[in-house]
Amino acid sequence: MKVLGLILAGEKGKGLGKLTAKRASAAVPIGGKYRAIDFTLSNMVRAGIKKVGVLTQYNPRSLMDHLGSGREWDLDRKRGGLYILQPYVSESDQYWYRGTADAIYQNMTLLRRGSEDYVLIGSGDHIFSFDFNALYDYHMTSMADITVMTKSIEGYDPKLYGVVKTNDEGRIVKFEEKPPNPDGDKISLGMYFVNKKMLMDLLYTAASNGGYDFVNEIIVANLDMLRIMSYEFTGYWRNAKKSVSEYKKINMDMLNREVSRELFYQNGKIFTKLKDLAPPKITSTGSVKNSIVADGSIISGKVEDSVVFRNVEIRSGAVVKDSIILENSVIEEGAKLNNCILDKNVTIRSERVYKGYDEPLIFEKWQIM
């Protein structure tokens, strides 16, 4: 089975506030050394997809720098490989992507010229690990036209997600985007598996009618005419772009051994951009408890229940609790942080004390506090 992977990675992720001021939500750092897009991209590669298009738009520099040629995902190849698909100006079109369906439609050439039979569409800011071969099998055995990955609504705020209602055989009979009063027991995970030729026909129809949104124009508009099935995913899944609290929860969840085992070992590796750094170092004055400490970091202070990214320096007497410290940041002697998120290259001066309360306290890139 030949499958084309498409990853929607053009959103800012307004819920993340300062964290997406200079990067797309798909590029937000996760879990010590990863970016959000690594999870969907690695899932696709492990399932045998050799051609992946990443549709970018908002502030793509950080994302493009991370993906490079796709070498870490074995996508630097002569046939297939990694395609960065940005909006562009042509003689006939001068539009930014006006929606998810429009983003795919504007890159119809990739679909038309490829030899793939199916298309797997996903989002670049969803954190999960899954073997998509199970999705392929379900799509075939259920004789679906389109298969949507879903998950039980329990534990999620339905006002932030698409809510799905199914009949007894798993066919989707109702799909509402962020309803105030949901009529369904599942949320959509934004993963869609569909025959390529059918997708192209649906996109042409939507475009001719002025439709730009994938959910409304492709899924909802065709619920009665097409057999659109729900594949229920039961593992760990979170959406990194929803809010700062959600972003922090994802990172802290990775301190849980069961979640970490599922994400990074159970279905295979999550690949990411490699950096030539020494292993983390904990000096004689340093201590680490229930935390992730990434390569290149030097810990001379105290770290508890935190995620420390690459090349971070926490000096003697400093205390970091319940916090996320991104790359190249420095916490000087005697400083104390609790419930904080430091973006890259932040310096916290000696003896300073910062604490977040209801929400984590966020420090932007290059701040010296």
How far is it, in rounded angstroms, from Cα 267 to Cα 25?
A: 24
pLDDT band at 87 (very low <50, low <70, confident <90, very high): confident
How far is it, in rounded angstroms, from Cα 225 to Cα 218?
A: 11
What single DSSP character describes residue 171? B
Place of tokens 């036209």: 145
How far CA 23 is from CA of 10, 97, 197, in Å, comes to 10, 17, 34
116 neighbors 196 (Cβ within 8 angstroms): yes
273 neighbors 301 (Cβ within 8 angstroms): no
- Counting every residue written for the chain, the total comes to 369
Query: Stretch 53-82: mean pLDDT, rounded?
Result: 93
pLDDT at 89: 67
Radius of gyration of the chain (CA): 21
Who contacts 122 (Cβ-Cβ below 8 Å, separation ≥6)? 5, 6, 7, 8, 40, 43, 44, 190, 191, 192
pLDDT at 293: 98
How confident is the model over 329-353, as pLDDT tens digits?
999 999 999 999 999 999 999 999 9
Phi, psi of 129 (to 5 degrees): -130, 130
Of 78, 84, 12, 2, nearest in space to 41 by CA:
84
pLDDT band at 180 (very low <50, low <70, confident <90, very high): confident
How confident is the model over 19-33, as pLDDT tens digits?
999 899 999 999 999
Query: Stretch 247-255: mean pLDDT, rounded?
Result: 97
How far is it, in rounded angstroms, from Cα 315 to Cα 325?
A: 13
How far CA 197 is from CA of 108, 145, 192, 202, in Å, comes to 11, 11, 14, 9
For residue 96 the two structure tokens come to 């930014």
Least confident of 206-210, 325-329, 336-340: 206-210
304, burial (CB in 10 Å: exposed 0-12, middle 13-18, buried 19+): middle
Helices assigned H by DSSP within 154-273 = 196-208, 214, 244-253, 257-261
Is residue 93 pLDDT above 70, yes or no? Answer: no
286 neighbors 302 (Cβ within 8 angstroms): yes
Q: Kindly list the structural domains of the chain, giving each domain's residue range(s) and its CATH number in brackets, ordered by start.
A: 3-266 (3.90.550.10), 281-363 (2.160.10.10)
pLDDT at 4: 97
317 neighbors 334 (Cβ within 8 angstroms): yes
Is residue 17 pLDDT above 60, yes or no? Answer: yes
pLDDT at 265: 93
Listing DSSP states for 207-227 in one string gives HHTT---HIIIIIGGGTTTS-
How confident is the model over 125-169, as pLDDT tens digits?
999 999 999 999 999 999 999 999 999 999 898 888 999 999 999
CA torsion through residues 177, 212, 193, 89, sign = negative
288 neighbors 281 (Cβ within 8 angstroms): no
- In the chain, the amino acid numbered 254 is M
